[in-house]
Structures are given as C-alpha cells and as structure tokens.
Structure 1
Amino acid sequence: MQTQDIIKAIKNKIDIVDYIGRYLSLQKEGNSYKAICPFHADKNPSFSIKPSEQFFHCFGCGVSGDVITFAMKYHNVDFKEAVKMLAEEIGLSIDDKQAENNTQDKKLSLDQIVAYVEMCSQYAKLTNYFADRGISPDIIKKYKLGYDVENNTVILPIVQEGQIVSYVRRNLDENKTRYEFPKGHKAIPFNLDILKDDLQTNVFITEGIFDALTIEAAIGQPAIALNGCENQKEFLQVLNQIKPKGKKFYILFDNDEAGCKAAKQLFDKMKNQYEVAICKWEGAPYKDINEFWQNSQSEVINFLLWQLKAAFYPYALINFAAQYVDFIKSEKFKAISTGFKQLDDVLNGGFVAGNLYVFGAKPSVGKTTFLLQLIDNFLQQGYECVFLSAEMPKEEILTRIFCREYGLKKANVKVPAFDFYKKLRTQTATEEEMQEFMFVMQDYIKRYAFKLHILEGQSLDEVYYVLDHLQKPILFVDYLQLLQPAKPCQSDKQRVDLIMQELFEIKNKFLIPVVAISSLNRESYSDDNNKDDIKAFKESGSIEYGTAAAFLMKREDNKPIHDDYKGNGYTINFKCVKNRYGSTGDDITMRFWGGIYLFEEIEDDNTL
C-alpha cells in the first residue's frame, strides 16, 4: 500500500475520541469533548475534540491536528514512527522495504497525486514555513497548500479546470534539491485557470509559486507562476489556445540577470498579440517579490499598485522623477575635480557621472602619463580607478607610477632620481636608491591597494566584472584604437564605433565617468593651429557625437625647457574641441616633465 492509503485507513478505523480518551480524561460538551491539554501547563480544559471532523485543537497553546498528529506529539515520535505505530493497531505493517518501493514508482497516477495532496494539506499547520514567507491561512486553505511531515517538504498543488493535476514539492532540508515535481511529471504552470476568468483583467506572471501567492496576498489578485523563468513553452501554448481578451499581463520575474533576460524573452513572444509589460525593479534590493514581501509588506503593496499604474508607460516622466531626486542628492551628481584647475574650469567643475571624455594625443606628448596623473588625482579623493591598458603591460604602468612618486619625494634634491626609470631598466641604481624606491612603492600600495585596478587587454569584457564590485569607480582607457569590440567589424571606423557603443553601455549602466585616450589621424599631424578641431580624431564619427568633452593634446614646440630638478620639460597645449557643458576653443597650457612623469599647469611659458 502507498503511504497515503495507509494514512487513510488509519483515519477510517481509529476514532480520534477513542484514541485520545486512552490518555486524557475527556468531558463531553455538546457535540465536542474537552480535556486538560497535555502539551502546556493548562489549568482549565482548553483542549477540544470535534468527532465530526476527527480533529483536535487547543485554545490555550494553539496545537491542533488529527489522530496522527496527536500520536506524534504525545509519544514524542516523528511522523513515520507515528504512522507505523497506528498502522500496527489496525493490522497493517510498514517496513523500510515497502517504503523504498513506494519511492521508486516510475510515474505517479493522477489518483495518487490527488491523494498525496489531500493528505499533506491536513498537515499544513505543522510547519511555520508558510507563515515565515508571509502566506496567510486563507490562501493556504484556498490552494490546499500542505506539508509532508515525513519528508519535511511543503506541497504546492497545481490545479487546472478546478482539478488537482500536479504539485511542486519545496524541500526544506538544505541537502536536497530545492524544488521537485511528481515522478514522471514535468513542470506545469500554476494558476493557468486565470486565463479563462473574464473578471481577472490584470494578470501578473511570476517565476515561482510563492511569488504568485505573494501578489494575491498583497493586492488580492491571483497570479500565474511558470515554475521557473525557463518554463515558457507550456504557458504560451495554453495562452495561445485560449487567446484571452481584455487582459493586461505584467511580467514580474526575479530581480537578477537571468530574470531580466527571461522577462524580455517572454515579452517579445507576447507583445504582438497581447497587452504585456515588464515590471521594473528599480529601487527594490530584493531577489524576488516574496523576499520583498517578507521584509516590507506595505512597500510591496505600493510597489504592485504602482506597477498596475505605470508598467505600460516605462518611459513616462513620472517613472524617473523619484530616481532623479535621489540622483541630484547623491555624490554621482557632483562634478569630480580632475585635480587641474584650468581643466575643471573648462568642464564646469570636472568630470560628471555618465559621461565620456576623450583626449586626442599626438605622439610624444605624454598621453599615458597624463591619464595616470588623472588617476592619481581621483585616488586621492577616495575614488576607485579602473585602468584598461590596451598598449602597455601593467609592469610598465606601475613603474611609471612609482617613478613619478619617487621623483616627487626627491623634488628638491638634484640627483639622478628623476631619471630613475633608466636606472631600473639598466639595474644601475644604488642600494640606497633602491631602498628609497621600495619604501615609496610600499607606501603607495598601502594607500591604494584596493582602489587602483589595472587590466591588460584589448577587450572590455572583464571591465564589467570589476565595476560590479566597486562603489565609486571611474574607468580609464588607453587607448581607443587598440580595443577590439565584442561584435565583428569590417573597418577601423566600424571598430571604433562599436567600441564607443560598448563604452556608452558601461557609462550608462554604472553611471560613472569614462575617460579615454584616442590616437589622431596622421593627416592631422600638422603644426597649423587652424586644423586643431574635432576632425583631427581618427575615425571621428562616434567620438564627435558621443563624447561630453574632447581635447586635443599638442606639443607647442620641439625645444625642451630644462630644469635641474625635473629634467626636460615640454609645453603641452590642450585645446577643447567639443564640450557639451560649456564653450569650445578654450586652451589649457601645461608643462610635461618627462623625467618624472608629471604634468603641471602653467599660465604661460614664462611661469617656469
């Protein structure tokens, strides 16, 4: 016999009054019996038995159940042992072999499924799991949610045409598969009968049953659950068979990448035939609607009512208003100083989140040095800097950073330290110099150990992973023309255009500033200042239209200025050729000291 058949036989043959009467002194009162409850310190008879329902309940401690439940609690045994003990009273025996055979049936029949669901529904009160997930007794009763005491699983029945056709088992033991379906049966969507209910005009579609039950608990509207975001095929088959009229569908999948992707897939499959919208998760830091419900029921109610009102208008102003208020109050709205006063003046304060800035550089003007110095300025302000180098290995980048730091430490000492890079390459530095250099390096690492992130390569793939784990990042790219886009390209111009598209996605997704170096078209390597405009950028189409600001870096003359403490210096002019937030044509003059990898602002050539 199946376990459910044995349980049914126990209840038919063992009267609950007779059984409990063996252990408690019962007093008849009308159609029920009363007794002192054995499960708590009861002074007045609060333990009641209803013979007509074969059910007991204590109004003092709240314990309730059938004859099996009483046997479990009174004899302090588990469900399996209680069933075995009671079965022996009526001449049935259960051994482990039989239990094993019961679990190895190839496919459960519909009768077995119904019997199992009916049995488990009687024990729903024996678990706190439903209450913990915010599911009310009324919903438990409506959907015949149950608890399999023997296997420690909750049972979620699936009904079609008013009849139980399947169920989902949610295992509560962590070492078991979380969700299971009856043996030989596949996943079936939950609550598909809603599609035939003309009164149900708004229909939410969720991944899991608990999410669907949450929506009903929150706003009183039954919802459909696919039992996994990947289980769209059967739902769509039933939907297209019924072809319901006058319904609006609201897809509310889990708040993760897989859920967002699956929601878009289902939306695309439905949008040509049905009114359908994707619910937006902005501002809700929960993995699904049930977790949201467990943390704040009032907020979930407001969230769902808002979806009913706004989901079909995702680009309406009202959808952005609250986010905008949060944005202008946040640090991301504030311009970030570049550390160069003249540059900040041209940019109205500095770099702004969600914008792309490009510096076009001719050869030998210190473009990488300038980018590294910008990074250092932002690190000092507490920002996290991600440097993608498509040209230099990280060892070369670090050497330049540490040599600059070493040079600045020795700024008032006329020593060969300002050419220390050469000494490192030729291994001619003295032991004292090396000790000083190591001290400077260790100090820098200590300050920025988890603030500076250096990537080598010509792809933006890893950038997403790094940015996902940072709080206040800024992305730097050196340089655009060496990067390879994710999509295939057929020309240099197309390659740069695709890279620009990827950078746009990054700056918008993470709402951060992105700073990039671009090479210049060789046709623009002229000394004629009249040609210094946006057209000087190689493959300038995307750069011209996609950047917030663009600057051309140009050496003013080839004759260096020498300083005993800083080595040779060159005058570098930054001409602003594109500026979304200000005027163009502004010139910024800096001195590039190649000996110590340093840029300094100057007002004119006579400053130094």
Structure 2
Amino acid sequence: MEAKDIVKAIKEKIDIVDYIGRFLFLQKEGSSYKAICPFHPDKNPSFYIKPSEQFFHCFGCGVGGDVIKFAQLYHNISFGEAIKMLAEEIGLPISDKQAENFTQDQKLSHDQIVAYVEICSQCAKLTNYFADRGISPTLIEKYKLGYDVENNAIVLPIFQDGQIISYVRRNLDDNKPRYEFPKGHKAIPFNLDILKDDLQTNVFITEGIFDALTIEAAIGQPAIALNGCENQNEFVQILNRIKPENKKFFILFDNDEAGSKAAKQLFDKMKKQYEVAICRWEGAPYKDINEFWQNSQDECIKFLKWQLKAAFYPYALINFAAQYVDFLKSDKFKAISTGFKQLDDVLNGGFVPGNLYVFGAKPSVGKTTFLLQLIDNFLQQGYECVFLSAEMPKEEILTRIFCREYGLRKANVKVPAFDFYRKLRTRTAREEEMQEYMNVVRDYTQKFAFKLHIVEEQKLDDVPYILDRLQKPILFIDYLQLLQPAKPYQSDKQRVDLIMQELFEIKNKFLLPVVAISSLNRESYDDDDIKAFKESGSIEYGTAAAFLMKRDDDKPIHDDYKGNGYTIKFNCVKNRYGSIGDDITMRFWGGIYLFEEVENSERKPSFDK
C-alpha cells in the first residue's frame, strides 16, 4: 500500500474525537469539543476539535492538525513513528524501515520549496493583506512575499546567503493553524544574512516576520525575526557560529507579559558575548510593532528611532522625563476624593493612584460597612470598584448594600435597613416591602451594572483579569489576613509579606488605589500606633497611609430614624503625604449601615441619593 493510501486509511478509520478523548478530558460545546491544551500552560480550555473536519486547533498556542499530527505532538515522536503506531492500530503493520521512508517521502525538497515560493510571489497582488499591515510593494518584491490562492495563505520566504531555503505560511482561515512550515522542515529565523552584513551595525530582533518587515518599512533597517520566541536557542547557536562583530542588538518582542519574559530570557543568553538591549514599551498601547505601524506611522518611526538612542540606557533620566510630564498632566496624578471631607483633608485630597491604604479595626466597629460606603462614594464619581471579599459571601455583601439603599429611601421609617434585614433573614417581610426592596435592587443594578465587581475569593488570581478590562478601577480588600498568596509560605508573617508583594505588583501595573481592611493584634487593641496592626511590619513599610478604627464611647447615641449610633475614631498612624496622629471622627449608624462625619451627624439626613 502506498504512503498516501495509508494516511487516508488512518484518517478514515480513526475518529479524532475518540482518539484525543483517550488522553484529554473533552467538553462538548455546540458541534465542537474543547479541552485544556496539553502543549502550553492553559488555564481555560483553548484547545478545540471539529469532528466534521477531523481537525484540532488551539487558539492559545496556535498548534493544530489532524489525528496524525496530534499523535506526533502528544507522544513526542516523528511523523513516521506516528504513522507506524496508528497504522498498526487499524491493522496495517508497517516496518521501521517503511516508517523511515515514509518520513523522507513527506519532506519537501529544496526545488519544491523554491517553486512554491515563486508561484506564490506572482500572486502577491491578489491580496490586500500586505497593504493592510503596512508592507510596501518594495519590500514585497525584495523578500518575494507571496499569496497562496488555493489555501488562502500568506507566504513569507526564508533566505540564507541570498537563496530561498524555506518559508513560513501564514494561514488566513481560522480553521487552520496560524503558522505552518514546509513538511519535514522546522522553523528558521528570518533575515539571518544581516549577521554577515558589515554595513548593518544595528540589528533589531523580533518575534514575527511582519514585525521585522515593519522596522525596515519604518526606518529602513532590516531586522531579524525568530519566528516564535521558542526558537531562541537555535538563534543563539547560529549567532555563536557566525560570531558577528561590531553589532548592537535591540530585542523588540511583543508588548505583553509573555513577550517581556521571552525578551529577558534572550537578553540573558546574549549579554555576556554581545552588545544587547531590550526595547521598552512604556507608553505605547499596542500589542506589537506592526500594530503600532498600522495605527500611527509617524509615532512608530519616532518610537524606533528613540530605541536606537535610548535602549542601552534604560535607567537614564531622559527615559523617564517625558513620561513624567505626561503623568503630571493626566488624571492619574490626581487624588480621588473619598467622599468624607475630614478623611480627604488628612490625605491631602483623597486616595492617590498607585498607593495602598489600610484601615485596621477589631470586630464590630463597622469596618466592612465603611468599605462598602467608600465603594458607593467612588461609584457615584464614575469609578469602577473591585471588591475582593475573603470572608463575607457576596449575597451578604449585596444585602448590606441594598438594605442601606432601601433605608436611605425610607426616611420616615424607624431603623429601616436593620429592621428589613431581619425580615429578609426570617422571611417575614410584607409583599409591599419586598416590592420596594426589589425596586432598589433593580435601580442600583442598572446604575452600576458594570461598575461594581465582587469577587468571593481568598486569592488574588482573578483580580488582574478583571482590572485589565476596566478604565478607572479601584481595588478593595476585605481583609488582608485572610488572603492566601500564590507562593507557598511558612508563617503568618511570611504569608502577609507575600500578599503585600502581590498587591504591590497589581497597584503598580494598573496604577490604581488599593484599599484594604486589616485585623489588629488582640493584645494591642488599645495601642495608638502602627504596632496595633497584625503583621505591622509589612503594613508599615508597604502602605501610603494607615488608620486605626476604634469605638470612642461605650454608650450609643439613639436616633429614631437611624437606630443606634456609635462614635468611631479614625486615628492616622502612617501617612506618606501628610502628618500622623490626626483623628477623624465619624458616627456609625448600624440601623441603616451608614457612616457620617460627626460635624454633620446631629442633623437628620436628607436621604436624597
């Protein structure tokens, strides 16, 4: 039986869903199946199988193919070995020698590669894809870029010593792998001939070919593309074999976490032998240099020329001055009012983005209520609030929020929020009351539908995902000592230290205020300094401001409409932007879950929202 007949028989007799289902847990989704991809770190299922086409594809790492390709990748075997294994499964035994020949038969010859590239280059004008990505006809002709009409794919040739030796095929159909190489050939970096060109003293290194072409289009500087960050080692081996002299290398990978990590890895591999720098993306809102080029060519040119000047001096003042001026002019430098005048006065205007604020309290002084009221104050100003509750379930949080709103609407009803909260618990609320309450839920939800986000979790894992999608976020934590860090820890102190590190990374990355509740040491409840906080060392060094919340009287003040009111002192024991020791006095009205500043607390609230 000929090789092509064996391949055909395997595909006809081995169903791809059944085969992959032996190794992966599959979930049905419509007419497809999905699973966690085994070929890259994958938290959410990004691996899909289309039974109708007998094809798999991962939208995370781009790998895809038929059942033979899966067997080859999953078992880490050659194409011929995969054919031999699957053929035996359907009763077509193949010898090892036949398997070797089968592999050889699949490898495209050099002549076949050249002929394919030449044909595709003649069809380059049949697609607008190059123009859409900002690639000029001059570069298309220089690099013999082409278009495969039959497969709807872009063809990007690879040259060595001026001769075509391979290509990268960029499929434009979503049901195919994004990138493919000639059968039997592995990925080869693009434009390696630059390493032998003495005239090219500045060499950019990118992930993809279109990024390399962009650099040449923008500043006339040919660039190298690795064709994937995973090809670093092969590139370094070639580099060490050629040993180019008098060259400066500029690593310009994608503007994301994976790109930054890969750039650092390549930098570490090259820094001992070569002059190499990592290009910085600060201030550029694009995922890669080609997207930058498509959106703003003039700014892209300035960006690349700036890299040539400044990339080797990443910590020089000149790298920060322009960003600092932009920062001063932006709203990011502006303090955000807390909605409490006294608190704003102590903090010189309110919460400043990029800072952590901690409120410490022993039980039963309304610390969660205070946090929820801060959230409401910020929502009213148009900010987006993320509330990470490590202790209280979201149903309890929502009930407190809605009962407060219900109480503020019922100005002439005694302690309405507390009273109604009890009725909800005991299922004794009248139908009329329930309807009024449901109206509150409806109105509040409509107003802040995508502004308030509540996470019922003891880890920070999901927080960056949420913040990525928000424009003006503020993060609230209730409370620090219950959070569990991503890394293992050996003591409570180490646990809080690790949590503070994670919070620092979040506040610096997203440049937002973080507001957290902390526990106090039982033996230090009456102290008036930072030592009253549990794990005070981490809190003292990690916060912009810290406050102790304490009841200032044992006997409550009673109000017919607001219930019992307790005087709460907020003592400032750490303040980076002002003095410490300032006391803020508020009244906590448990009957309507409300804090009021004492100077306003003696008059009956208007209840206007």
Q: Secondary structure at the match of 2:437?
A: helix
How big is the shift at 1:381?
A: 0.8
Matched-pair contact (CA < 8 Å) for 1:418–1:566: no
- Residue matched to 2:440: 440
Cα distance change on mapping 1:291 and 1:419 into 2, 3 Å = same
The one-letter code matched in structure 2 to 1:318 is I
Q: Secondary structure at the match of 2:549?
A: strand
Cα distance change on mapping 1:601 and 1:161 into 2, 3 Å = same
Q: Matches of 1:542 and 1:274 in 2, distance apart?
A: 41
Q: Matches of 1:111 and 1:318 in 2, distance apart?
A: 52
Q: Matches of 1:107 and 1:581 in 2, distance apart?
A: 68
Matched-pair contact (CA < 8 Å) for 2:407–2:416: no
**RMSD between superposed Cα atoms in Å:** 2.2
Q: Matches of 2:255 and 2:426 in 1, distance apart?
A: 55
Kindly indicate whether residue 580 of structure 2 is the aligned counterpart of residue 584 of structure 1: yes
Cα distance change on mapping 1:595 and 1:510 into 2, 3 Å = same
The one-letter code matched in structure 2 to 1:367 is K
Kindly indicate whether residue 197 of structure 2 is the aligned counterpart of residue 197 of structure 1: yes
Q: Encode CA deviations 1:8-61: one digit per residue, 9 max, x unaligned.
A: xxxxxxxxxxxxxxxxxxxxxxxxxxxxxxxxxxxxxxxxxxxxxxxxxxxxxx
- Residue matched to 1:462: 462
How big is the shift at 1:208?
A: 1.5
Structure 1: runs of 5 or more not aligned: 1-103
The sequence identity of aligned pairs, in percent, is: 87
Matched-pair contact (CA < 8 Å) for 1:570–1:592: yes
- The 5 Å alignment of 1:13-32 reads none
Q: Secondary structure at the match of 2:229?
A: coil
- Residue matched to 1:376: 376
Kindly indicate whether residue 289 of structure 2 is the aligned counterpart of residue 289 of structure 1: yes
- Residue matched to 1:506: 506
Structure 2: runs of 5 or more not aligned: 1-103, 605-609
Q: Secondary structure at the match of 1:570?
A: strand
Q: Matches of 1:348 and 1:380 in 2, distance apart?
A: 21
Q: Secondary structure at the match of 1:299?
A: helix
Matched-pair contact (CA < 8 Å) for 1:190–1:225: yes
Q: Secondary structure at the match of 1:114?
A: helix
**What TM-score do the two structures reach when normalised by structure 2?**
0.78
Q: Secondary structure at the match of 1:484?
A: coil
Q: Matches of 2:436 and 2:496 in 1, distance apart?
A: 43
- Residue matched to 1:401: 401
Q: Matches of 1:440 and 1:141 in 2, distance apart?
A: 66
The one-letter code matched in structure 2 to 1:600 is E
- Residue matched to 2:68: none
Q: How many residues align?
A: 501
The one-letter code matched in structure 2 to 1:563 is D
- The 5 Å alignment of 1:408-557 reads 408-414=408-414, 418-526=418-526, 531-557=527-553
How big is the shift at 1:462?
A: 0.9
- The 5 Å alignment of 1:98-497 reads 106-414=106-414, 418-497=418-497
- Comparing 118-127 with 556-565, greater Cα deviation is found at 118-127
Kindly indicate whether residue 558 of structure 2 is the aligned counterpart of residue 562 of structure 1: yes
Q: Matches of 1:299 and 1:415 in 2, distance apart?
A: 60
How big is the shift at 1:487?
A: 0.7
The one-letter code matched in structure 2 to 1:228 is G
Cα distance change on mapping 1:175 and 1:433 into 2, 3 Å = closer
Q: Matches of 1:538 and 1:173 in 2, distance apart?
A: 57
Matched-pair contact (CA < 8 Å) for 1:561–1:568: yes
- Residue matched to 2:10: none
How big is the shift at 1:263?
A: 1.7
- Comparing 506-515 with 141-150, greater Cα deviation is found at 141-150
**What TM-score do the two structures reach when normalised by structure 1?**
0.78
- The 5 Å alignment of 1:72-87 reads none
Matched-pair contact (CA < 8 Å) for 1:390–1:478: yes
Cα distance change on mapping 1:447 and 1:606 into 2, 3 Å = closer
Q: Matches of 2:146 and 2:560 in 1, distance apart?
A: 85
Q: Matches of 2:270 and 2:264 in 1, distance apart?
A: 10
Q: Encode CA deviations 1:233-290: one digit per residue, 9 max, x unaligned.
A: 2101111222323221111112233322322222222223322222122333333222
Cα distance change on mapping 1:518 and 1:238 into 2, 3 Å = same
Q: Secondary structure at the match of 1:231?
A: helix
Q: Encode CA deviations 1:405-428: one digit per residue, 9 max, x unaligned.
A: 122222333365542222221222
Matched-pair contact (CA < 8 Å) for 2:153–2:169: yes
Matched-pair contact (CA < 8 Å) for 2:483–2:499: yes
Q: Encode CA deviations 1:501-524: one digit per residue, 9 max, x unaligned.
A: 111111111111100000001110
How big is the shift at 1:149?
A: 4.7
Matched-pair contact (CA < 8 Å) for 2:189–2:225: yes
How big is the shift at 1:429?
A: 2.3
The one-letter code matched in structure 2 to 1:407 is G
Cα distance change on mapping 1:193 and 1:359 into 2, 3 Å = same
Q: Matches of 2:455 and 2:532 in 1, distance apart?
A: 28
Q: Matches of 1:417 and 1:144 in 2, distance apart?
A: 74
The one-letter code matched in structure 2 to 1:510 is F
Matched-pair contact (CA < 8 Å) for 2:415–2:563: no
Cα distance change on mapping 1:150 and 1:500 into 2, 3 Å = closer
How big is the shift at 1:538?
A: 0.7
Cα distance change on mapping 1:128 and 1:471 into 2, 3 Å = closer
Matched-pair contact (CA < 8 Å) for 1:105–1:183: no
Cα distance change on mapping 1:434 and 1:576 into 2, 3 Å = same
The one-letter code matched in structure 2 to 1:285 is P
The one-letter code matched in structure 2 to 1:135 is I
How big is the shift at 1:230?
A: 1.9
- Comparing 212-221 with 593-602, greater Cα deviation is found at 212-221
Q: Matches of 1:163 and 1:417 in 2, distance apart?
A: 80
Matched-pair contact (CA < 8 Å) for 1:571–1:605: no
Q: Matches of 1:415 and 1:147 in 2, distance apart?
A: 74
Matched-pair contact (CA < 8 Å) for 2:416–2:592: no
Q: Matches of 2:306 and 2:577 in 1, distance apart?
A: 35
Q: Matches of 2:361 and 2:415 in 1, distance apart?
A: 31
Kindly indicate whether residue 571 of structure 2 is the aligned counterpart of residue 572 of structure 1: no
Cα distance change on mapping 1:198 and 1:497 into 2, 3 Å = same
Q: Secondary structure at the match of 1:360?
A: strand
Cα distance change on mapping 1:105 and 1:297 into 2, 3 Å = farther
Cα distance change on mapping 1:466 and 1:135 into 2, 3 Å = closer
Matched-pair contact (CA < 8 Å) for 1:114–1:164: yes
The one-letter code matched in structure 2 to 1:335 is A
- Residue matched to 1:72: none
Matched-pair contact (CA < 8 Å) for 1:155–1:168: yes
The one-letter code matched in structure 1 to 2:432 is E
Cα distance change on mapping 1:132 and 1:479 into 2, 3 Å = closer
Q: Matches of 1:394 and 1:147 in 2, distance apart?
A: 54
